[in-house]
Structure 1
Amino acid sequence: YKTAWFMCHRIREAMTDRTGGTPMGGDGKVVEADETVIGGKERNKRLSKRNPKNIGAVGKQICFSLVERGGRVRSFHVPSVNAKTLRPIITKHVRRESTFMTDDAGQYRIIGPEFARYESVNHGADEYVRGDAYTNTIEGFFSILKRGINGVYHHVSEAHLSRYLAEFDFRYSNRVALGVNDTMRTDEALRMIAGKRLTYRRTGEAAHA
Structure 2
Amino acid sequence: MSLFAFQQQFPDEASCLSFLETQRWGEDSTNRYCPHCGSLKTYKFSDGKLFKCGDCRKKFTVKVGTMFSDSHIPLQKWFYAIYLNTSLKKGISSIQLAKYLDITQKTAWFMLQRIRYSVEKAGRGDLLGNIVEADETYVGGKKHDGRRGRGASGKTPVVGIAERKGEIRLAVTTDTTAPTLEKVITDNVTPGSTVMTDEYRPYNHVTRLGYDHHRVNHSSKEFAVGQNHTNTIEGAWSHLKLSLRAIYIGVSPKHLQKYCAEYEYRYNTRGLKDNERFDKWFGFVNGANLTYAELVDAGRLTLTPAIT
Relative to the length of structure 2, the TM-score reads 0.59
Alpha-carbon contact 2:206-2:213 (below 8 Å) kept: no
Deviation at 1:76, TM superposition (A): 0.5
Letter of the structure 2 residue corresponding to residue 7 of structure 1: M
Q: Which moved more, 1:194-203 or 1:3-12?
A: 194-203
Equivalent position of 1:93 in the other structure = 188
Q: Secondary structure at the match of 1:59?
A: coil
Please tell me whether residue 173 in structure 1 is matched to residue 268 in structure 2: yes
Q: Secondary structure at the match of 2:141?
A: strand
Equivalent position of 1:61 in the other structure = 156
Q: What are the Cα deviations for residues 49-88 of structure 1, in whole angstroms up to 9, with x where unaligned?
A: xxxxxxx965311111111111111101100001111222
Which aligned segments of 4 or more residues in structure 1 are displaced greater than 6 angstroms?
Answer: none
Pairwise CA RMSD of aligned residues? Answer: 1.8
Flag the structure with more relative contact order, 1 or 2, with Cα contacts below 8 A and sequence separation at least 6: 1
Deviation at 1:175, TM superposition (A): 0.3
Among 245, 258, 280, the residue aligned to 1:150: 245
Equivalent position of 2:233 in the other structure = 138
Alpha-carbon contact 1:72-1:173 (below 8 Å) kept: yes
Query: Superposed, which structure 2 residues align to 1:186-201 within 5 Å?
Result: 186-201=278-293
Query: Superposed, which structure 2 residues align to 1:1-209 within 5 Å?
Result: 1-16=105-120, 18-25=122-129, 29-41=130-142, 59-176=154-271, 180-204=272-296, 205=298, 206-209=301-304
Relative to the length of structure 1, the TM-score reads 0.85
Deviation at 1:203, TM superposition (A): 1.4
Deviation at 1:116, TM superposition (A): 4.0
2:123 and 2:140 map into 1 onto residues whose CA distance is 28
1:94 and 1:57 map into 2 onto residues whose CA distance is 28
Q: Which has the larger radius of gyration?
A: 2
Aligned length: 191
Deviation at 1:121, TM superposition (A): 0.3
Structure with greater strand share of residues: 1
Letter of the structure 2 residue corresponding to residue 126 of structure 1: K
1:127 and 1:196 map into 2 onto residues whose CA distance is 44
Deviation at 1:195, TM superposition (A): 2.1
Cα 1:83–1:57 change in 2 (3 A) is closer
Unaligned runs of 5+ in 2: 1-104, 145-150
Letter of the structure 1 residue corresponding to residue 250 of structure 2: H
Q: What are the Cα deviations for residues 181-205 of structure 1, in whole angstroms up to 9, with x where unaligned?
A: 1111111111111222211012123
2:210 and 2:221 map into 1 onto residues whose CA distance is 25
2:206 and 2:143 map into 1 onto residues whose CA distance is 34
